[in-house]
A and B are shown apart, each in its own frame.
Chain A
Amino acid sequence: MAGRNAGTELELGWISKVYVNRPAVVRHAEQIKKWKTLKGNWQAAWLLKAVTCMDLTTLSGDDTPSNVQRLCFKAKHPIREDLLKALDMHDKGITVGAVCVYPARVSDAVNTLKAARCNIPVASVAAGFPSGQTPLETKLAEIRLAVEYGAREIDIVISRSLVLTGQWEDLYEEIRLCRAACGEAHMKTILATGELGSLANVYKASMIAMMAGSDFIKTSTGKEVENATFPVGIVMMRAIKEYYWQTGYKVGFKPAGGIRTAKDAITWLMLVKEELGVEWLTPELFRLGASSLLGDIEQQIFYHVTGSYALQHELAMA
């Protein structure tokens, strides 16, 4: 593995001949929805993998230190200890992949996790999240502040206007500057695919984001009308594979928004395995952005272990 994606020079040739056939991709995605779900120990193991790849997220206007603190503890103990023990997974360090909050809540999250002696990274959205309609200077300043507060991962949003008007050089420059502002922090680039107009644009924006040095590309903010859909995910993963073939860098993928059930989570994992290969199924290369998903996963694992579903009070709230 070549390590962290260093990006490349802007190769407009890589996006000049991009063709995506929407009906074919949609048909492919329809097949995925018919996949049979996994059973038994396989289901449990895949759900735990989904937990370790999860960015446990709260991005609300009414976030306060108290609910962020709760979220952090849930991030450290995503699945009840006795359930993990029953599956012989209690000593495997099963925590979520990261906690994802607004910049103003980063300090709360970092302090809570530090106090809990827990090494889970804090991810911060930045760069004018969710619309990206702020000046570049503000975006960069926001990123630097979030890193200063202790965020080890930054989820930036791109300026959709640059994609829609075809200003690929400007988009490349903007993301490049954001990456520089991130420094050591890993950068996930949110494409907001629901607002890019076409699947070909999704592919091109993915390529530009990777050339500009993104560590992850991410589907959506969760605030658009259309969030992480399978056709979009398929196209982004195909771009990741192509970039890997061209440069040798493995870039991560993060679907986010609208992923609520354990079945959805497993389908995404299976899709990643099909399109990118099993080596992408690690927290370093795959994240699921979700807020309510963890509850359903814990329920399913509870059912797998005990044979019945948990009552509300039997599982800890985040």
Chain B
Amino acid sequence: MVTGRCSGHFRPVSVVLGPLWPVPPRLGGPSAAMAALAALGAPPVPEIFATMEEGPVPGEINAGEAWLQSHGRSLGHFVAGTWLKPPGRVSLTCPESSTGRPLAAVPAGDRSDVAVAVAAAAAESWAGLGGPQRGQRLTRLAAALAGERRGAVGALLALAGGRPLCRTLGADLDVALRLLRAPAAAAELGLPGLEGWSPLGLVAVVLGGPCSLLALLWKLGPLLAMGNTAVVLCPAAAAPPLLLLAELSGEGAALPPGVLNVLVGPPELRLALRAHPEIASVTFLGVPQEELPAVVWGSPCRGPRLGGPRGGRVVVVVLDSADLDSAAAALAASAAAPPALFPVGGCVVLAQDAVAAALERRLRARLGGLRLGDPTDPKTEVGPLPPGTCPPEGVVQEALQEGAQVFQVPLPPERGHRFYPPTLISGVAPTSRCLRDPTPGPLLVLLSVRSPTEAVAVASALPHTAAAAVWAQDITVALDTADRLPQGLVWLNALDLLDPSGGCAGGAADADLDEALREFGCPPWEQPPKVDELLSPLVTVDDPGDPELAHAVSAARGAAPGWGRLPGAARARALRGAAAALAETPATPGTGGAHGDLRGALLRWAARLERGGGAVQDVPGGRALLTRRPLGVVGVAWGWPRPLAPQLLLPPLALGNAVVVVAPPGGAGPAQRLRKALEAAGLPGGVLTVLPGNSRGSGSGLARHRPDGLWLCGGDADCDWASAVSVPRVWGVPAGLVGAPGQDPPPGAERELELRCTRPHCLWLPGGAP
């Protein structure tokens, strides 16, 4: 029944005294809604009734603009808990992403500001607080982000970064909070598993190119939780939300002054950061790959540690049992605003032949319905291109010339050149530039594939992939396909679910939360123990030649998948067999102790394999299966002047990698015996290759052959070079971790070794929503 009661919005109504009926309606009276309408110049009701346009959302003050206004649109650097505005500098402009209109001005930072920031970074007092205190402070920072300034953070991300407000205030902010809270919780619990670790000290984080607040928080959370302090260098275009974060960090006694410092300056300043003696580590985020070698090249031997950039595209496999409508809806949403941690790179869809046409029709319909416009309008779904990226026009034109079908939604004429229309390219081959180059913007590329197996093959051969998704209702096919995809983060029937506890890993070099914490910590075995006994006599030999290395690495590459896919128990059998065989061979005089060590280590790693691993994590919207996968081919370059410790080779082998080790001939003997014993016990040929060599160049020699991981025993310069140029995971093995012969490895060493030769793999299984 219809009643006159208002069921939606309750407002106290004052009782009108006087004639009760009829009360003349106050037509045209003072009304907030009408006033706002007049300001908007809204079309008359009959016109909207005919067109059913939705109109803008008026009248709300943009909280981001309000914050900028409160600073007089003149920002500075945020150092030591206060604003640093050095006079007489060139002024940098922070532009609005959609129009280029200046939002605020910042004085350009220079080397003197770096010195001020380094001096201000209160490393000792922050580390001295202890894990639980630091965790609580970081949780307070998250609370400040979620509190009343939430609106300002979201609005600034939309204004400066061009991501639509419905994302920056919604899913993005939720992930941002989790990115702070998860490491904070680890710190509150006293960093379990990291007993004895100490902070590095002062860490510099360099943002370049298009990079989101979330990408920064993914590093910043673990960095601060471990007890380091940070100097963040960002370009002016990305500065406003980061400066607000820095300002928030001082509010409500979240972080002490000097813990989080933000400098705004030209990219050259990163060289000053890298060269500064008090900066322990430099992490690069969003620096284009081609610029990295120039930054890294020639770094000093004991220089800052270097972390690589992140990002890439998402590969979506749509199989013939997929819910096509849901897949198309998710894909269109992801094209409109890519997953928050992978802000550029685009999305590639591999659709099985049987459903490719049906999917394409749905994608076109969905892309056509996307609302493109001002990112600060809450109804906008597609904002402008991320700052610092070029429109993908060239790539699209090239695809057209190659005979591809290009579907493009017409761009509203009033939109400037910073906007690009939602686009679907189909009918291209993996050779096409739209699949080779990262392409920012609302762009989907659709390829049809014949089978799930072919989808896996294509997905494995695409460059710059960060994550993958499989859409299929047939659970066996879905799980089988997901399992064979090489990407470290795979969603099942979903796109862009992210949570640090469920793995934010993406791309070949990325890490889970445990690894992210370790990246910013100094392990207790970092200081080398006293090594008295040198290799005697020190034999000098030539490094293995390129053909020899190439042969070994390619044999390893061929053998690795078979070995890695064996169940852990089968690999354990080989290790136990080798241990038994070694027990029968009489030990060479003088190495008896080491022999015993090796057998013990073989049995220990066999036991670890038999115990099994992996975890199921409850995450928002379902569960995530967390496992570790072998890297593939791990190169080990032994440069220390003492015999090779063959125990070091066991973790990568046991965990399913193929290993190519370059070691001095004197120390290679035990390794060769280990290889023979293992191969006799069932290790396939090529999984372990021992090459003689003995110089600091062997690491770079190995790196040229692109192993999936590289362990350098001695030689930091090689390490930086290799990490920047070609090898995704490079590790300078701390001498203290290996231990002298006869010594037990330090506690926690096995976990560290395990993490260093495996990569995270995370499979999201959505379900169970109400």
> Which residue numbers of A lie inside 8 Å of B, CB to CB?
17, 19-28, 31, 34-36, 38-42, 44-46, 48-49, 56, 58, 67, 71, 74, 80, 82-83, 86-89, 92, 238, 241, 245, 260-263, 269-270, 273-274, 277-278, 281, 291-292, 294-296, 298-300, 302-318
Q: Knowing A28-B329, A306-B29 touch, does A39 contact B493 (C-beta < 8 A)?
A: no
The 3 closest A-B pairs by CB, nearest first: A307-B31, A318-B2, A45-B48
B323 touches A317 (CB 8 A): no
Q: Does B622 reach chain A (CB closer than 8 Å)?
A: yes
Contact of B7 among A20, A44, A245, A261 (CB under 8 A): A261
8 Å CB contact of A21 from B1, B2, B40, B323: B323
Q: A25-B326, A245-B361 are in contact. List 6 more A-B contacts (CB 8 A).
A: A17-B320, A86-B27, A89-B46, A294-B2, A308-B13, A311-B13
Asked if A307 contacts B34 (CB within 8 A), the reply is yes
Known: A39-B59, A40-B33, A311-B13. Is A26-B44 also a contact (CB below 8 A)? no
A-facing residues in B268-326 (Cβ within 8 Å): 320-326
A interface footprint on B611-646 (CB within 8 Å = 1, 0 otherwise): 000000000011000000000000000000000000
Q: B32 within 8 Å of A by Cβ?
A: yes
> Known contacts being A307-B31, A309-B11, is A89 close to B25, with CB within 8 Å?
no
Q: Is the interface of A mostly helix, strand, loop or mixed?
A: helix
Cβ of B8 within 8 Å of any chain A Cβ, yes or no, is yes
Whether A41 contacts B48 by the Cβ 8 Å rule is yes
A277 to B366, CA, bound (A): 10
In the bound complex, residues from chain A placing their C-beta under 8 Å from that of B333 are 31
- Tell me whether A314 and B23 are in contact (CB under 8 A): yes
**Interchain CA distance A307-B25 in the complex, whole Å:** 10
Cβ of B329: which chain A residues have Cβ within 8 Å of it? 24, 28
Chain A residues with Cβ under 8 A from B494's Cβ? 23-24, 27
B7 to chain A, nearest CB (A): 5
- Tell whether B767 is near chain A: CB-to-CB under 8 Å: yes
Verify B52–A306 contact, CB threshold 8 A: no
Residues of A within 8 A of B27 (CB): 82, 86, 305-306
Select B6's contact among A19, A56, A296, beta carbons within 8 Å.
Answer: A296
CA distance in complex: A80, B166 (Å) = 36
Are B43 and A278 closer than 8 Å at their CB atoms? no
B37 adjacent to A41 (CB under 8 Å): yes
Residue of B nearest to A18 (CB): B323
B125 within 8 A of partner (CB)? no
B30-A314 in contact (CB<8A): no
Q: Which residues of B contact A298 (CB under 8 A)?
A: 4
Beta-carbon contact of A56 and B2 below 8 Å: yes
B321 partner residues in chain A, CB cutoff 8 A: 17, 19
Q: Which of A19, A23, A310 contacts B766 (CB 8 A)?
A: A23
A89 touches B45 (CB 8 A): yes
Contact B49 A262 (CB under 8 A): no
Assuming the contacts A24-B493, A315-B4, asked whether A306 and B11 have C-beta atoms less than 8 A apart, the reply is no
Contact B3 A48 (CB under 8 A): no
Interchain nearest-CB distance for A105 vs B (Å): 14
B8, B45, B473: which contacts A299 (Cβ < 8 A)? B8
Contact present for B8 and A300 (CB under 8 Å): yes
Contact of B326 among A21, A281, A303 (CB under 8 A): A21
C-alpha spacing A205/B3, complex, angstroms: 35
CB pair B42–A40 under 8 Å, yes or no, is yes
- Bound CA–CA A274/B52 (angstroms): 12
B534 within 8 Å of A by Cβ? no
CA gap between A299 and B40 in the complex, in Å: 23
A and B contact pairs by CB, cutoff 8 A, 20 listed: A19-B322, A19-B324, A22-B769, A23-B766, A36-B57, A40-B33, A40-B42, A40-B55, A45-B49, A46-B54, A49-B52, A273-B54, A277-B369, A300-B9, A302-B25, A303-B33, A310-B6, A312-B5, A316-B4, A317-B2
The verdict on A291 contacting B49 (CB below 8 Å), with A23-B766, A260-B7, A263-B8 known, is: no
Does B728 count as interface, using CB distance less than 8 angstroms? no
State whether A39 touches B55 (Cβ < 8 A): yes
- The smallest C-beta distance from A57 to any residue of chain B, in angstroms, reads 10
Q: Are B55 and A27 in contact (CB under 8 A)?
A: no
Closest to B2 in A: A318
> Which residue from chain B places its CB closest to the CB of A238 in the assembled complex?
B325
Inter-chain contact B52/A281, CB cutoff 8 Å: yes
- The complex places the Cα of A311 from the Cα of B11 at a distance, in Å, of 11
Q: For the complex, give the distance between the alpha carbons of A22 and B765 in Å.
A: 12
Find out whether the CB atom of B621 lies under 8 angstroms from the CB atom of A88: no
| Given A19-B473, A307-B30, A307-B34: A49 and B4 interface contact (C-beta under 8 Å) | no
Say yes or no for B378: interface residue by CB 8 A criterion.
yes
Task: Give the distance to chain A from B39, nearest Cβ to Cβ, in Å.
Answer: 10
**Complex interface bits, B165-177 against A, C-beta within 8 A gives 1, otherwise 0:** 0100010000000
* A299 lies within 8 A of B4 (CB): yes
Inter-chain CA distance A269–B54, complex, in Å, is: 11
B541 at the interface (CB under 8 A from A): no
Q: Of all chain A residues, which has the CB nearest B165?
A: A36
A26 near B769 (CB under 8 angstroms)? yes
- Cα of A26 to Cα of B767 in the assembled complex, Å: 10
With contacts A48-B45, A49-B49, A306-B25 taken as known, whether A296 is within 8 angstroms of B8 at the C-beta atoms is: yes
Q: Judge whether B36 is part of the interface by a CB distance below 8 angstroms.
A: yes
Choice from A294, A306, A315 contacting B31 with Cβ under 8 Å: A306
Question: With A and B bound together, what is the CA distance between A49 and B50 in angstroms?
Answer: 9
Q: Which residues of chain B are within 8 angstroms of A312 by Cβ–Cβ distance?
A: 3-5
Q: In chain B, what residue has the closest Cβ to A94?
A: B49
- The residue among B16, B321, B323 with the most chain A CB atoms within 10 A of its own CB is B323
B25 to A317, Cβ gap below 8 A? no
Verify if B17 is at the interface (C-beta below 8 Å from A). no
Which residue of chain A lies nearest to B169 when distances are taken between CB atoms in the complex?
Answer: A34
Which residues on B sit within 8 Å (CB–CB) of A311? Answer: 4, 13, 16, 23
Near A by CB (< 8 A), chain B positions 461-488 give 471, 473
CB pair B7–A304 under 8 Å, yes or no, is no
A82 touches B25 (CB 8 A): yes
User: A278 to B16, Cβ gap below 8 A?
Assistant: no
- Measured CB to CB, the closest approach of chain A to B341, in angstroms, equals 18
Could you tell me if A38 and B369 are in contact, using CB atoms closer than 8 angstroms?
Answer: no
Which residues on B sit within 8 Å (CB–CB) of A92?
Answer: 46, 49
Q: Is B28 an interface residue (CB 8 A)?
A: yes
For residue A56, which residues in chain B have a CB less than 8 angstroms away from its CB?
2
Q: Which residues of B contact A83 (CB under 8 A)?
A: 25
> In the assembly, what is the distance between CA of A36 and CA of B380, in Å?
11
The answer to whether B55 and A38 have CB atoms under 8 Å apart is yes
Interface assignment of B593: CB less than 8 Å from any CB of chain A: no
Min CB distance A71 to B, Å, is: 8
Residues of A within 8 A of B378 (CB): 36
- Which chain A residue shows the least CB distance to B323? A21
Q: How far is the CB of A282 from chain B (nearest CB, A)?
A: 9
Q: Give the residues in chain B near A25, CB-CB below 8 Å.
A: 323, 326
Q: Using Cβ atoms and an 8 Å threshold, which residues of chain B touch A304? A: 31, 33-34
Chain B residues 321-349 with CB under 8 Å of chain A are 321-327, 329-330, 333
For chain B residues 518-557, which have a beta carbon within 8 Å of chain A?
none
